[in-house]
Each structure stands twice: as structure tokens, then as C-alpha cells.
Homo-oligomer: A and B are copies of this chain.
């Protein structure tokens, strides 16, 4: 099934635009997991099981696994999500960006080795860096557009005369680059005005929205700015605020409660058709 179709089914079936970001940092794990044989896998699996019915997607961030030689745990985690919770798309957050045969190998890494349904890609090298992902026509890719961090301004807000760089990227991605219809854009919740600008340029494209929770983005403002005409169209990521909601023995329930509260706050801001 195509990535965008999986996403649509979750938006509607689970009535959720929430994505749980899996950024496992063992220094913040609850005591109960310390000394476990595969703490990263165990931690993420508990989070996945506790929140699966509340989400439209999961987004593991590969750096947290790679810095700890935990690629095998990442492979097993994604396989576990597909098996235990079929239909929930997995977005591998890798932000690769390279060309030609190198990019082909990155696409193989994300889609074949790790079994992700979608990944994230940097736009600086142009369409050559995106094209190899499109050879996997059912798979998705979110292209960085307006990121949630402060110094994102340094390039993304530069004026090209008629428009700014991030708007130019939105236009490329929503237009000529989107040959499979499976591309989306990364736009931070911390900049609702820019979310609105991107949504005007790309009325139907999925937006991956980091920056709520620990990064301080306002849920109400970001949903109002970024939703598509039918009140979907967004994959709103929250990681740390859910994963580390408690470090006590109640950590699994605390994560579920935090996810539910976030999903509900998102839904309260949505346009309903």
C-alpha cells in the first residue's frame, strides 16, 4: 500500500494526526530498564504498544540508534511495529541527502534494510537527491522545508525576491519533484505563519510537523495553520514529551496519558467536515 494511503487510513481510522517520535536516549530511561539486554528495543516497544491506537505514525530517529551500534534493534523495532500494529506507517527520520548511486544506497537502507514506509530527505542537492527514493513508488519521503530550529532562518528565510527559500522548496516538492505523489514537507510547529504559507503553496501535501512539546510550538496555532481543507494533512510529531513523561515505575502509563492529551489537543483544534 502507498505511504499516503496508509497515512490517510490512520488519520481517519484512528482519528489522529499525532506521530510519536522514537528518540531513545538510555540516559533518560526508567530504572526498570537499566541492565536490560536490549534496553533501546525494550523501551521503544513499550512506548509503541502503549500509544499505537493513538497515533497516525511512528518516527524513529536513526541517529539515536547509530551512535550506539543499535541498528539491529532498529530493524527489529520496525519489524515489530509492522507485525504487532499493522497499518501504522513508520517514518525513518534520517535526513539523508546525496546523489546518484549513493542516494540509491540510502534508499535501500531506509526501505529495504530497515523496512520503513517513508523517510526524511534534505533538499540542498536538488532533485538528484530525491529521485532515487521515487524508484520505490509506494514509499514516501518528507523533504526538509522550514525546520523548527532557530538557526533554520540562516538559509530557509533568505529572500529570493518574490519568495523565500523555504517557499521555493515547497513549490519544487509539491510540483515537479512529486512524480509519485508520495512526497511531503517538513515544517516546524514553531513557525505557524510559515506553516500557513506552505499550506497555501501545497494545499494537499502531507506535512511532517516537529516542534510541539519540548520545543515549545503551540498546538492550536499550528493545526489551524497547517491542516488541509478536510482537517487532516498533518503528521504532528512529539517525542521527548511523551517518551520521558515519567521516569518512575508509571512511565508507560504516563507516556500513554501524554500521547492521549496531545492527540486530543490536536483534535480540538482541527476543522471537522
Contacts and interface: CB of A to CB of B under 8 A. Distances in A.
Interface of A: 23, 25, 61, 63-64, 66-69, 71, 95-103, 105-106, 108-109, 112-113, 122-129, 144, 147-156, 158-161, 165, 168-169, 172
A123 to B, nearest CB: 6
Nearest to A147: B125
A114 to B, nearest CB: 9
A103 B62 CA distance: 11
A126 B99 contact: no
B63 A100 contact: no
A153 B165 contact: no
Contacts of A126: 147, 149-156
A97 B125 contact: no
A172 B155 CA distance: 10
A267 B123 CA distance: 35
Nearest to A102: B63
Given A98-B95, A124-B122, A152-B126, A105 B63 contact: yes
Contact of A67 (B113, B147, B159): B113
Contacts of A95: 96-98, 122
20 contacts: A63-B96, A63-B102, A63-B103, A67-B105, A69-B113, A97-B122, A100-B149, A122-B124, A123-B155, A124-B147, A125-B149, A125-B155, A126-B147, A127-B154, A128-B149, A128-B151, A128-B152, A159-B161, A160-B160, A165-B165
A150 B123 contact: no
A69 B96 CA distance: 17
Contact of A66 (B113, B125, B127, B152): B113
Contacts of A100: 149
